[in-house]
Structure 1
Amino acid sequence: MVLDVLERQIAAALQLDPRCPWRKMAAVLGEAERTVARRGSQLLESGVVAVVGVRPQPAAVLIEMRCAPGTVRAAAKALAQRDDTTFVYTTTGTGDCLAEIFTEPGRMGDVLSEELPSTIGLRDSTSYPVLRYFRTIRGWRPQVLGTDRVEALRSSLTPDSGVLEARHTLNRQDTELAEALCADGRMSYEALGRRVGVSEATARRRSEWLLGNNQVQLRAVVEPAVFGLNVEALLWIRATPRHLERLGMALAELPMVRYAAAIAGDYQIVADVTVSDMAALYHFITGSDWAQYASSVDVSLLLDARKRGGRITRVS
């Protein structure tokens, strides 16, 4: 499925501000509010676009798994069902499956040495702790909207800070609000208040605090293919320490990059890139300015996204 022009604009607007009111969105896009509300609601109800939240943790790790023949899909499904995974991909290359896990630093050892080894089909795995994010998927902005519209729609409550922060200790009401926002990031303040048992004004104030203090990270989850970006690849990049920051920042400025993180291990940066076709991928790797800072690049193609943005995308 490929979205039409208005649907792409609505999806892009939700990436900028997942809670953007239809009225504001319509005014910025120059469309009738009723049309934008109807088309936007259809995208959300169909699941083509999902506005969900993730509770960040102070530690993140990428797990590249190699599986026994015939078990890759089962392993990916098992990983996707874990509450602590944010994305789970099956890929080409030396690894069969890649997952990102958010956890507490104190639990990292248990996750890596006790929990993950019991994953169905797992033969062996490599862990890459995340040192720093240059971009997460909540900061991905395909080139759909012009600069003026982007600035008009951008929300101060949902920045892509890229910072790994400890969770605050939340009271019962804030915990329930956070859980509700993670399940449905566009739930109205009135509905949030009813769910938690507080006034609409309190629900608004506390929700804005949760979002503004990085206790809930909202994102609009959209498959790149609906924008006509049919090739998705993971770039495993080696670079010298003096080039690392410059390389990461250069990648984060490009609309083709959905995700880029500095990692510990044999590679220094991993980047998730979406482009229209293989020729565009080749050009991105060989003809882009960022490549001058890389000493080597290994490429894996994404075959299937079992989970994106903390949301299971396929059930089979």
Structure 2
Amino acid sequence: MESARVDDLDRRVIAALLAHPRATHATIGQAVSSSEATVSRRIARLRRQGAVRVVGALDSQLSHRARSVFVRLRCAPGAADELARPLALWHETGSVKVLTGSVDCVAELAYTSNEHLYRLMMHRLPQLEGVTATFSNQVIRRFSTPHGWNPGILPDETVTALRAERRDRWAERPEPDEVVPMSPLDERVLGELIGDGRMSWQDLAGRCGVTPSTARRRAEALMARGFLRMRTVVEPEVLGLTVNAFVWLTINPTKIGLAGEMLARNRNVIMIAATTGDRNLCGEIAVANDSALYDFLSETVGHLPGLIHADVAVALRTVKRAGMVAPDVVPVGGGIS
């Protein structure tokens, strides 16, 4: 993979993709004041370098397929990096980071039942060499996710215009009591777009054995239901946000909703969710530098209503993000089990 080289135009193009992952090159060109041809070349290079990916994602919570839990691991000295590697190869992990702070590693896991979570927490995690303590926080409500992250690179009116053209849901909404099952064709459409979120309707139709109009209709119906969500995946440092950190907060229960909504509107917050466990509000943030992290903690976190306790751990390394393991983590000849 080529080393990622980005300039100001690259960052604006990525910001446009964050606002609308399936936007056309012409639409992005208008948003960033560049030509369609230039945008096409930039996106191709950024994707080739691995600086950015556009993927489709099944919303497991809205579709009642799975639920999420954040797991924090305290490790023996020097064990975190080696522990994170096998953890990233689990198919249940969507993200894994090595941290510095009160814990050494954090992972988001998807589980399909309490029995499944029991096996993960009571058997598989303790078997990882170097684990000295585990803490789990089950997600019970999401206030914001990376599907709707706006780092503030483009003007607000540009982001609003791009989002207005999205067919998928970038903002969070309440979980439905019941869901309609997906058809085999829906499953196929979803599976193809998970691999390439910018796949053309023509290519999608060819892979699914249907007409382009049918492929588009099925995909957009899944988007409207909230099952299929599009996401632009990028490491914050590519956008000049060199400090990526995780925050775990304890909020007075009567103020969790208010605090969560306030954080969801903050451009430094990639995601924030209400959780069970020793902390009831957990999230990921990205800021430009240590000074900006100080400002975020003192001015934003420090003024949250109902704040009781705050903990922060800075990410040292991304081992897995959005279900994709870092290239140097997968062993030669190996894969994800």
1:198-256 deviations in whole A, cap 9, x for unaligned?
A: 11111111111222222222210111111111111111111111221111111111101
Distance 1:103 1:168 in 2: 20
CA contact (8 A) 1:61 1:130 kept: yes
Q: Deviations over 1:176-219 (max 9, x none)?
A: 21111111111111111111111111111111122222222221
Q: Which amino acid aligns with 1:139?
A: G
CA separation of 1:261/1:230 partners in 2, compared to 1, >3 Å: closer, same or farther? same
Superposed CA RMSD:
2.0
TM-score normalised to structure 1 length: 0.93
Match of 1:53 in 2: 56
Unpaired stretches in structure 1, ≥5 consecutive residues: none
After TM superposition, the structure 1 = structure 2 runs for residues 18-57 of structure 1, keeping only pairs within 5 Å, are 18-57=21-60
Residues matched between the structures, number: 316
- Distance in 2 (CA, whole Å) between partners of 1:290 and 1:159 is 28
Change (3 A) 1:176 1:128: same
1:147-204 deviations in whole A, cap 9, x for unaligned? 2211221124132315556775333222121111111111111111111111111111
Residue 161 (1) aligns with residue 172 (2): yes
Contact 1:53 1:310 in 2 (8 A): no
Worse overlay, 116-125 or 258-267? 116-125
Q: Does structure 1 residue 131 correspond to structure 2 residue 140?
A: yes
Q: 290, 293, 296: which one pairs with 1:278?
A: 290
Give the 3 Å change call, closer, same or farther, for CA 167–96 of structure 1 in structure 2: farther
Matched, 1:79 2:87: yes
**Matched residue of 1:20: which SS?**
coil
Residue 99 of structure 1 and its aligned partner are, at CA, apart by 0.6
User: How far did residue 304 of structure 1 move?
Assistant: 0.8
Within-5 A mapping of 1:89-100: 89-100=97-108
- Output the CA distance in 1 between the equivalents of 2:6 and 2:223: 29
- In 2, Cα distance between equivalents of 1:2 and 1:93: 30
Amino acid at match of 2:150: R
Identical columns (%): 32
Q: Against the structure 1 CA distance between its residues 2 and 225, is the aligned structure 2 distance closer, same or farther, given a 3 Å change threshold?
A: farther
**TM-score between the two structures when normalised by the length of structure 2:** 0.87
Residue number in structure 1 paired with 2:109 = 101
| Partner SS state of residue 288, structure 1 | helix
SS of the residue aligned with 1:254? coil
Match for 1:282: what amino acid? Y
Counterpart-to-counterpart distance in 2, 1:41 and 1:168? 37
2:322 maps to which residue? 309
Q: Aligned ranges for residues 231-310 of structure 1 at < 5 Å?
A: 231-288=243-300, 291-293=303-305, 294-310=307-323
Distance change in 2, residues 1:295/1:88 (3 Å): same
